[in-house]
Structure 1
Amino acid sequence: MPRLTRIYTRKGDDGTTGLGGGQRVAKDALRVSTYGTVDELNSVIGVALASGLVPRLAQTLPVIQNELFHLGSDLCFLEDDKATYRIPQIEPRHVEALETLMDELNDVVGPIENFVLPGGAPGAAHLHVARTVCRRAEREAITLAHEEPVGAFVIPYLNRLSDALFIMARYENHQRAIPEPIWNSQL
């Protein structure tokens, strides 16, 4: 566990940042952008939690926030460096846990009758924002994977998480007895 005694280092004043393995790269490098978007996603989930979600989601989302730190660690280290450094990474069990959660919550909310608009309860709306940020992180990770190797479960995890966030938003509305906003294709 890192212990930070001072937040600023001045090392990034030249527009670079350090990867986990010590390499200096531009702050706008695709890898940095990707784990930055994962950090943004984690923050948006924090906002959703702060809005006061129903207990089941309030119990689940801090675990996912910790997993997003694993994912950030996974992205912050080059694949070649992972053999040298023992770091938390996204594993099959993380992807499987999201699938189990989705099955549980989907059994409660039932099938979708139409396209769902983002909204409803404040917490559900925040979860929809988290879903869209997660989709952006997934797109960036896919682009990064075209250029250099990434962890084997990074993209599957982000793919499942965006679906899970959608179902969580539906679940939040359902548990609060707030009708889901539905797309009206006739407007």
Structure 2
Amino acid sequence: MVVLNKIYTKTGDAGETALGNGARVAKHSMRVTAYGTVDEANSTVGMARLHTQGDLDDRLAAIQNDLFDLGADLCRPDMEKDAVSEYPPLRVSDAQVTRLETEIDVMNDKLEPLRSFILPGGSALAAHLHLCRTVSRRAERLSVELATMEAINPAAVKYLNRLSDWFFVAARIANNDGKDDVLWVPGANR
């Protein structure tokens, strides 16, 4: 269990922060940028949840927990040392990716095939889910960039890739099962 008695520590005042393994890095490092964007995505999910209830809210709560797992994963480098660590770091698993895929398939079965691109919007919930999608996609791009510099858990990138797809399909569900989607009309305002 984590205990946070004091919120400010002053240890970051010089522009550095501690990773999960205790190493100090610049706050603008790619690793911090990647897991910081995952945290941002989690905040957008919290905003979306203001408009949900029932099963969708439960699934979004699970995603929020997964995103905290993902942040913990990304803030802990040293992939090769995991097997020998007394306390192995938390890593996102392929099972979490598979769960998203299953949920996407179930939601998508309710929808008519798309014949146009969709503009973010429609209902308030759909608009929030589209914001979740775009922030998750940015977190994915940053994690992919991090992976070109340092080893990261491949399941982390897969999770983010599926997550943005999950949000896209969930936004369609939130728009009356796609009936109220806002469709792109190419060149409509020329």
Q: Do these two structures clear the TM 0.5 threshold for a shared fold by scoring above it?
A: yes
Q: What is the DSSP-based 3-state SS (H/G/I as helix, E as strand, rest coil) of the residue aligned with 1:153?
A: helix
Q: What is the DSSP-based 3-state SS (H/G/I as helix, E as strand, rest coil) of the residue aligned with 1:13?
A: coil
1:48 and 1:107 mapped to 2: Cα distance? Answer: 22
Which residue, 92, 95, 98 being the options, matches 1:96? 98
Q: How far 1:112 sits from its partner (Å)?
A: 1.2
TM superposition score normalised by structure 2: 0.93
Contact kept? 1:49, 1:61, Cα under 8 Å: yes
Contact kept? 1:35, 1:76, Cα under 8 Å: yes
1:14 and 1:81 mapped to 2: Cα distance? Answer: 29
Q: What is the DSSP-based 3-state SS (H/G/I as helix, E as strand, rest coil) of the residue aligned with 1:97?
A: helix
Alignment of 1:1-187 (within 5 A): 1-50=1-50, 52-78=51-77, 79-83=79-83, 84=85, 85-174=87-176, 179-187=180-188
Q: How far 1:21 sits from its partner (Å)?
A: 0.4
Cα deviation 1:84-142 (Å, max 9, x = unaligned): 23232110100000000000000112311210110011011000011000010000000
Q: How far 1:54 sits from its partner (Å)?
A: 5.0
RMSD between aligned alpha carbons?
1.4
TM superposition score normalised by structure 1: 0.94
Count residues with an aligned counterpart. Answer: 185
**Gap regions ≥5 residues in structure 2:** none
2:157 and 2:41 mapped to 1: Cα distance? Answer: 15
2:44 and 2:82 mapped to 1: Cα distance? Answer: 28
Contact kept? 1:53, 1:172, Cα under 8 Å: no
1:141 and 1:96 mapped to 2: Cα distance? Answer: 19
